[in-house]
A and B are shown apart, each in its own frame.
Chain A
Amino acid sequence: MKLSDLKKGERGKIVALNLKGALKKRFQEMGILPGEEVLVERVAPLGDPVEIYIKGYHLSLRMEEAEGIEVEVLK
């Protein structure tokens, strides 16, 4: 499952990052790492970007990049 598939309020655990180069590195540096728990806080009114809660802070990213983040849903 992808991070972009999670709905508002759903939580997931990051499994893998299917991204490349500088972008991948930046995501990792912002704490988006395998094993990390992530909560989808909300989707922007126009449908993009999304706001997530990870490692104790709030981060926004676009759907397009969220598609590159593999997660498993946590109940």
Chain B
Amino acid sequence: MREIKIAVVGNPNTGKSTLINALAKARLQVGNWPGVTVEKKEATLKVGDYTLAFVDLPGAYSLSPFSLEEKIARDYLFTERPDVILCVVDSTNLERNLYFVIQLMELEIPLVLALNLFDEAQKLGYQIDIPLLERLLGVKAIPTIATRGEGIEELKSAIVEVYLQNKIPNRLSYGEDLEEAIDRVRLQLLTLNPQLEASLLYKGLLIKLLEGDQELISRLNLKFNPEEIKKYLQHIEKVHGEDIESYLTDLRYGLATGVVRQVLHKPEIRKITFTERVDRVLLNRYLGIPIFLLMMWLLFKVAFDVANPYVDFVDETINGPIMKWANVGLEFLEAPEWLNSLLLHGILAGVGIVFSFLPVIGVIMLLITFLESSGYMARAAFLMDRLMRSFGVQGKSFIPMLLGFGCNVPSVYATRVLEQERERKLTIFLVPFMSCGARLPVYVVFVSAFFVEASGTILFSLYVLGIGTAILLGIFLHKLIYRGKSSPFIMELPPYRLPTFRDLRVHTWMKLRHFVIKAGTWILAINVVIWVLLNLPWKPNNPEESYLGKTGALLAPIFKPLGFGDWASTASLLAGSLAKEVVVSTMAQIYASEEERAQEETLNLIEDLKGIVFNFGAKTKEAVYNLISTMGIATLQVEEPEEAKGLIVKLQEHFTPLSALSFMIFVLLYWPCFVYGIAVRAELGSFKLYLQAILIHTLVAWLVSLLFYQVGRILGF
């Protein structure tokens, strides 16, 4: 059994991820690249006696990287040297795609082209002479339609075939001068590095030396004489009157254009495409922005209206039947009282609150994935660029910001598309002001306690306040710290395409998994720690005497001017600095230990299961009804949840409406969660930006809450 290592590459928007999803079926492994937390997707397949091990590299336009993603692709190809390269090509845009293919051929590794979107090319009336293309380039080319899984089997056998034949792509001639310079560099390297095999001195590498790609060269540990290389270079630049990079680009494009002229026949008159017709409306001078705002409003309406009944469902199921049966089980096992309390009140209740918001975050992520893979997100970036530049970021920052309303953690990873370090950092810094799903439990409980009538307005205002704060702080930081010009905005506007279900499922899960993993690990651990701190020294008469209570009381004066300086809310905020979801579960733990709930319930497993199924049906009905019943966001009208009544009564005792608002504002703005910090460290290499964010965000939160509370008091609320 031989393993064939295959790197999957291609320009962005060629359907590469659809193709890899079709290749891998459900066997896609998601990991991270060493050093950076860019998702590394791998899949292995068995074909006859061979194991095909695919590595999905980030989309790239060139092997001279412009963004972090392209750098990863380049580094992998040059340093790992896969056995076969599979390049996904957009058949409707052969020329620009072949420019990249020509660069890949320089690597002198067997190459298979997937001529993807073949159906679209046919619809446009394009005819591609595939055998001629294969002959001219010395590669295998397979027409594919990834969305329908067509051409996948042929692709697999082509990979094995080029591997067995060790079919190296044709070495195209780059002109006498350049070829001579390349030969000289080769000779020089062989003399200076006698241990090197000649086959490792492929054209691509020699050209990199000529181009002076320092970053890559230093990683390859080669001895070379830069002075002499400079001399070859000067010769070429003098003869052609161009710098080497422009000369190379011209040359490669010349080759690509030449090939396309021979293999592609397309109709004389270009038809106006579907995409162009749609864009006349969606990017219209007057309608573009209103339609964009409408889309965003729809996104949130669908997310809240459809997901909220399921939030109740998860919550009711965990706090109802699951809690009850866990309790029965623990009693049956004669578990000690402390264990029972830890498992039920510490873990199950806490993690339950977090998981119950999974539907909202899931729907937001699903809709964003849909907009992304349909091609609309590129348009959103196009529309928003001018506006976002005024606060120091750019159009492409829009996607990470929007993702932030689901969960801030995938937002951090999504900033990879930003080319400039400064913009990337600023975007990451501002993302936590986008009110993520984890903050919803806090709002929901407080809104139910104080503002049942105006719930929609209050929630909406909080979201707007977060965005407003981000804009103001963005302008401020842009002027003071992250100064400098915005990086250039070069972005392809891909044709609109309908994403497949498999793609939606896979990519939604990629975004959602951060939240799920977080809930299952960190949030669980934090809840245990809080339970311990709340119950030590063992069995305090009064929770205020516990370690948590004492710490809360100690720090409470800081929050006095904001209107909520009691020990319980301070302790909850402390816990919430690790993850905001924990604020409510901490309060619930604190108040639950003040007053143990006594319940007498009947035990009937069948009835409970029936109840769960029935409840699910009822919630689905509610979701559909919400969606169609009103133009407004129906579920923002929060009804008082039964099971949270105890907590709500307690909150009404400890807060006034004004201090409750001040508290919600503080929770919205303060201390970005710990998992966000881990993501920042993974992406930027240190905790520095996270520490800055903790300081500045908490300070901003304190000031805004202070201002709000004091002004509110003066106005007599």
Task: Please say whether chains A and B are actual partners in one complex.
Answer: yes
Residues of A within 8 A of B (CB): 22-31, 33, 41-49, 51, 55-62, 64-65
- A39 to B275 Cα, complex, angstroms: 16
Q: Which of B95, B245, B490 contacts A61 (CB 8 A)?
A: B490
- B268 to chain A minimum Cβ distance, whole angstroms, is 14
**6 pairs from A and B in contact (CB 8 Å cutoff):** A28-B250, A30-B492, A33-B250, A42-B279, A58-B492, A59-B490
Q: Which of A22, A33, A55 contacts B66 (CB 8 A)?
A: A22
Establish whether residues A46 and B488, one from each chain, have CB atoms under 8 Å apart when the complex forms.
no
B225 within 8 A of A: no
- Tell me the interface secondary structure of chain A in the complex: mixed
B93 within 8 A of A: yes
- A3 to chain B minimum Cβ distance, whole angstroms, is 13
Q: Which of B478-514 contact A (CB under 8 A)?
A: 488-494
- B294 to chain A minimum Cβ distance, whole angstroms, is 14
Inside 8 A of A64's CB, which chain B residues have their CB? 488
Q: Which of A33, A43, A60, A62 contacts B249 (CB 8 A)?
A: A33
- B67 to chain A minimum Cβ distance, whole angstroms, is 10
Look across to chain B and name the residue whose beta carbon is closest to the beta carbon of A34: B250
Establish whether residues A29 and B62, one from each chain, have CB atoms under 8 Å apart when the complex forms.
yes
Q: Which of A30, A45, A47, A55 contacts B61 (CB 8 A)?
A: A30
Inside 8 A of A55's CB, which chain B residues have their CB? 93, 95-96
Q: Which 3 pairs across A and B sit closest by C-beta, in order of nearness?
A: A46-B386, A58-B493, A28-B249
Establish whether residues A57 and B489, one from each chain, have CB atoms under 8 Å apart when the complex forms.
no
- A71 to chain B minimum Cβ distance, whole angstroms, is 17
Establish whether residues B491 and A45, one from each chain, have CB atoms under 8 Å apart when the complex forms.
no
Establish whether residues A42 and B283, one from each chain, have CB atoms under 8 Å apart when the complex forms.
yes
B383 within 8 A of A: yes
Inside 8 A of A61's CB, which chain B residues have their CB? 488-491
Look across to chain A and name the residue whose beta carbon is closest to the beta carbon of B211: A25
- Tell me the interface secondary structure of chain B in the complex: helix
Look across to chain A and name the residue whose beta carbon is closest to the beta carbon of B124: A56
- A27 to B275 Cα, complex, angstroms: 23
Inside 8 A of A23's CB, which chain B residues have their CB? 488
Establish whether residues A60 and B489, one from each chain, have CB atoms under 8 Å apart when the complex forms.
yes
B429 within 8 A of A: no
Other A-B pairs beyond A56-B95, A65-B489, 9, CB < 8 Å = A23-B488, A24-B246, A25-B245, A41-B276, A42-B285, A43-B285, A48-B385, A51-B382, A65-B490
B408 within 8 A of A: no
Inside 8 A of B387's CB, which chain A residues have their CB? 46
- A45 to B280 Cα, complex, angstroms: 12
Q: Which of B95-119 contact A (CB under 8 A)?
A: 95-96, 99
- A59 to B61 Cα, complex, angstroms: 13
Establish whether residues A51 and B283, one from each chain, have CB atoms under 8 Å apart when the complex forms.
yes
Establish whether residues A25 and B488, one from each chain, have CB atoms under 8 Å apart when the complex forms.
no
Establish whether residues A60 and B383, one from each chain, have CB atoms under 8 Å apart when the complex forms.
no
* Size bin of chain B's contact surface: 35 or more
Look across to chain B and name the residue whose beta carbon is closest to the beta carbon of A43: B285
- A2 to chain B minimum Cβ distance, whole angstroms, is 16
Inside 8 A of B522's CB, which chain A residues have their CB? none
Q: Which of B253, B284, B382 contacts A33 (CB 8 A)?
A: B253
B332 within 8 A of A: no
Inside 8 A of B61's CB, which chain A residues have their CB? 26, 29-30
Q: Which of A55, A57, A64 has the most CB atoms of chain B within a 10 A radius of its CB?
A: A57
Inside 8 A of B284's CB, which chain A residues have their CB? 45
Inside 8 A of B283's CB, which chain A residues have their CB? 42, 44-45, 51
- A27 to B66 Cα, complex, angstroms: 11
Inside 8 A of B492's CB, which chain A residues have their CB? 30, 57-60
Q: With contacts A29-B64, A31-B253, A61-B489 known, is A44 near B386, CB below 8 A?
A: yes
B626 within 8 A of A: no
Q: With contacts A30-B96, A42-B283, A55-B96 known, is A48 near B386, CB below 8 A?
A: yes
B466 within 8 A of A: no
Q: Mark B51-72, 1 if CB is under 8 A from A, else 0.
A: 0000000000110101000000
- A55 to B489 Cα, complex, angstroms: 19
Look across to chain B and name the residue whose beta carbon is closest to the beta carbon of A61: B490
B286 within 8 A of A: yes
Q: Mark B419-433, 1 if CB is under 8 A from A, else 0.
A: 000000000000000
Inside 8 A of B570's CB, which chain A residues have their CB? none
B635 within 8 A of A: no
Establish whether residues A62 and B489, one from each chain, have CB atoms under 8 Å apart when the complex forms.
yes
- B280 to chain A minimum Cβ distance, whole angstroms, is 8
Look across to chain A and name the residue whose beta carbon is closest to the beta carbon of B378: A60
- A35 to chain B minimum Cβ distance, whole angstroms, is 10
B289 within 8 A of A: yes
B288 within 8 A of A: yes
Q: With contacts A25-B249, A29-B62, A30-B96 known, is A59 near B491, CB below 8 A?
A: yes
Establish whether residues B489 and A49, one from each chain, have CB atoms under 8 Å apart when the complex forms.
yes
- B273 to chain A minimum Cβ distance, whole angstroms, is 10
Establish whether residues B93 and A29, one from each chain, have CB atoms under 8 Å apart when the complex forms.
no
Q: Which of A28, A29, A31, A43 has the most CB atoms of chain B within a 10 A radius of its CB?
A: A29
Q: With contacts A29-B61, A30-B61 known, is A44 near B245, CB below 8 A?
A: no
Establish whether residues A46 and B490, one from each chain, have CB atoms under 8 Å apart when the complex forms.
no
Inside 8 A of B276's CB, which chain A residues have their CB? 41
- A39 to B537 Cα, complex, angstroms: 75
Inside 8 A of A47's CB, which chain B residues have their CB? 386
- A49 to B491 Cα, complex, angstroms: 10
Inside 8 A of A30's CB, which chain B residues have their CB? 61, 96, 490, 492
Establish whether residues B64 and A49, one from each chain, have CB atoms under 8 Å apart when the complex forms.
no
Inside 8 A of A51's CB, which chain B residues have their CB? 283, 382, 493
Inside 8 A of B286's CB, which chain A residues have their CB? 45
- A26 to B395 Cα, complex, angstroms: 18
B92 within 8 A of A: yes
- A23 to B488 Cα, complex, angstroms: 8
Inside 8 A of B491's CB, which chain A residues have their CB? 59-61
Q: Which of B66, B96, B288, B382 contacts A57 (CB 8 A)?
A: B96
Inside 8 A of B288's CB, which chain A residues have their CB? 44-45
Look across to chain A and name the residue whose beta carbon is closest to the beta carbon of B283: A42
- A57 to B270 Cα, complex, angstroms: 12
- A41 to B283 Cα, complex, angstroms: 11
- B487 to chain A minimum Cβ distance, whole angstroms, is 9
Q: Mark B248-277, 1 if CB is under 8 A from A, else 0.
A: 011001000000000000000000000110
Q: With contacts A55-B96, A56-B92 known, is A27 near B490, CB below 8 A?
A: yes
Look across to chain B and name the residue whose beta carbon is closest to the beta carbon of A42: B283
- A51 to B386 Cα, complex, angstroms: 13
Inside 8 A of B275's CB, which chain A residues have their CB? 58
